[in-house]
Amino acid sequence: MSNRVTNLLVPIVSVVLGLIVGAIIMLVSGYSPIEGYAALWNGIFGDLYTIGETLRQITPYLLAGLAVAFAFRSGLFNIGVEGQLIVGWFAAAYVGVAVELPKIIHLPLAIIAAAVAGALWGFVPGLLKAKFRVHEVIVTIMMNYIALHVTNALIKTVSEGGDRTERIFASASLRSEFLENLTEFSRLHLGLLLALIMVGVMWLILEKTTLGFELKAVGFNQNASEYAGMNVNKNIILAMVISGAFAGLAGAMEALGTFEYVSSKGGFTGIGFDGIAVALLGMNTPLGVVFGATLFGSLKYGALNMPNAAGIPIEIVEIVIAVIIFFVASGYIIRLLLLRAAGKKKEAK
């Protein structure tokens, strides 16, 4: 079996194993897995409206996945996508409610604000990693909590003691009548287009620019890159900043598209953490992220149908997702088993 084929098989096997574990858990707790997965399927593809909503759910996952994947490619693990998303969400919503401008200025301004906020939240761990060799994993986790508490406090200030901001002005909204009419008035918005453009942007950066080449080189081997005359520290900071900007854009999708406001949160949205799974499943390539995000966005939205249609708690899908991450992370053992299975086949021949 070629390396390429095993690389593709690992995520597929992981997804299948995840679904099997989910089925076993449903069976053990007295639910019917067939009913459960049928409800999940209908929750994803049931009618035009659900398809529209599924696509809407995929949008932030695309960007969160890109953020994690981009950092991974530069040898960095950005667990802070969640926090970067939260500050991006707030920044976009704030620009959306604070001023009213012509759409052509207002919407780009709100989007850029989100990207800048996310980038700033990625800059801190990047700088600390570059200057003090502090591991980015712990710093980004801490930055997540700081983002959560700080944005909650800011929302309170902006809304004068309330729990959520006003609705954003229409001039900052990503809503599109065309997409809504197409999907029986789902909340599908133009953000999907932006997210897909960003997939192309990431591909361009990584494959067609000197910067992308340097970032990947640093990801492969820092010492070799240093020796080749690259500025490793600058590249680490840049990688985290760009990754954070992608994450901030994911927040803009929620602020300007789906919800059109920001409310204070008791906990994390989970989108940033699922972004890790999306990136891993997509093997950190832009195209892979599209597949990963499609899978997770569909699972997440489809799960909402499970309690009503089959009486099964939606958490079963979260369990499936966790198991998939677990198996993707344990890719080594799956590879080994696949190779062994392939070897046996050869002997049998």
Applying CB under 8 A, does 6 fall inside the site for another protein?
no
Q: Which stretch binds another protein (CB under 8 A): 5-13, 215-223, 232-240, 322-330?
A: 322-330
Between the alpha carbon of residue 47 and those of residues 106, 184, 252, the distances in Å are 34, 9, 27
Q: How far is the CB of 273 from another protein (least distance, A)?
A: 7
Applying CB under 8 A, does 69 fall inside the site for another protein?
no
Applying CB under 8 A, does 332 fall inside the site for another protein?
yes
Please check whether residue 231 is in contact with residue 102, taking contact to mean a CB–CB distance below 8 angstroms. no
Applying CB under 8 A, does 339 fall inside the site for another protein?
no
Please check whether residue 63 is in contact with residue 195, taking contact to mean a CB–CB distance below 8 angstroms. yes
At residue 109, what is the residue type? L
Comparing CA positions, the residue from 116, 115, 114, 118 lying closest to residue 168 is: 114
Please check whether residue 83 is in contact with residue 270, taking contact to mean a CB–CB distance below 8 angstroms. no
Q: How far is the CB of 13 from another protein (least distance, A)?
A: 13
Cα–Cα distance measured from residue 68 to residue 38, given in angstroms and rounded to the nearest whole number: 31
Q: How far is the CB of 134 from another protein (least distance, A)?
A: 5
Applying CB under 8 A, does 99 fall inside the site for another protein?
no
Between the alpha carbon of residue 126 and those of residues 12, 91, 99, 139, 146, the distances in Å are 33, 21, 32, 9, 16
Cα–Cα distance measured from residue 283 to residue 348, given in angstroms and rounded to the nearest whole number: 32
At residue 142, what is the residue type? M
Applying CB under 8 A, does 120 fall inside the site for another protein?
no
Closest to another protein by CB, 135 or 344: 135
Applying CB under 8 A, does 326 fall inside the site for another protein?
yes
Other C-beta atoms within 10 Å of 108: how many? 12
Q: What is the DSSP string of 278-322?
A: HHHHTTT-HHHHHHHHHHHHHHHHHHTTHHHHH---THHHHHHHH
Other C-beta atoms within 10 Å of 275: how many? 33
Q: Which stretch binds another protein (CB under 8 A): 48-56, 59-67, 162-170, 328-336?
A: 328-336
Q: Which stretch binds another protein (CB under 8 A): 44-52, 101-109, 149-157, 207-215?
A: 149-157
At residue 265, what is the residue type? K
Given 51, 247, 280, 289, the residue binding another protein (CB under 8 A):
280
Per-residue binding string, another protein, 17-46, x by CB under 8 A, is --------x---xx----------------
DSSP code for 64? H
Applying CB under 8 A, does 7 fall inside the site for another protein?
no
Q: How far is the CB of 321 from another protein (least distance, A)?
A: 7
Applying CB under 8 A, does 182 fall inside the site for another protein?
no
Comparing CA positions, the residue from 12, 65, 62, 78 lying closest to residue 331 is: 12
Given 134, 193, 228, 339, the residue binding another protein (CB under 8 A):
134
Cα–Cα distance measured from residue 66 to residue 203, given in angstroms and rounded to the nearest whole number: 10
Applying CB under 8 A, does 232 fall inside the site for another protein?
no
Q: How far is the CB of 110 from another protein (least distance, A)?
A: 24
Applying CB under 8 A, does 306 fall inside the site for another protein?
no
Applying CB under 8 A, does 256 fall inside the site for another protein?
no
Please check whether residue 277 is in contact with residue 323, taking contact to mean a CB–CB distance below 8 angstroms. no
Q: How far is the CB of 323 from another protein (least distance, A)?
A: 7
Applying CB under 8 A, does 139 fall inside the site for another protein?
yes
Applying CB under 8 A, does 321 fall inside the site for another protein?
yes
Please count the residues of this chain forming the interface with another protein, following the rule CB under 8 A. Answer: 44
Residues that bind another protein (CB under 8 A): 25, 29-30, 77, 79, 124, 128, 131-132, 134-135, 137-139, 141-143, 145-146, 149-150, 152-153, 266-267, 273, 276, 280, 313, 315-316, 318-319, 321-323, 325-326, 328-333
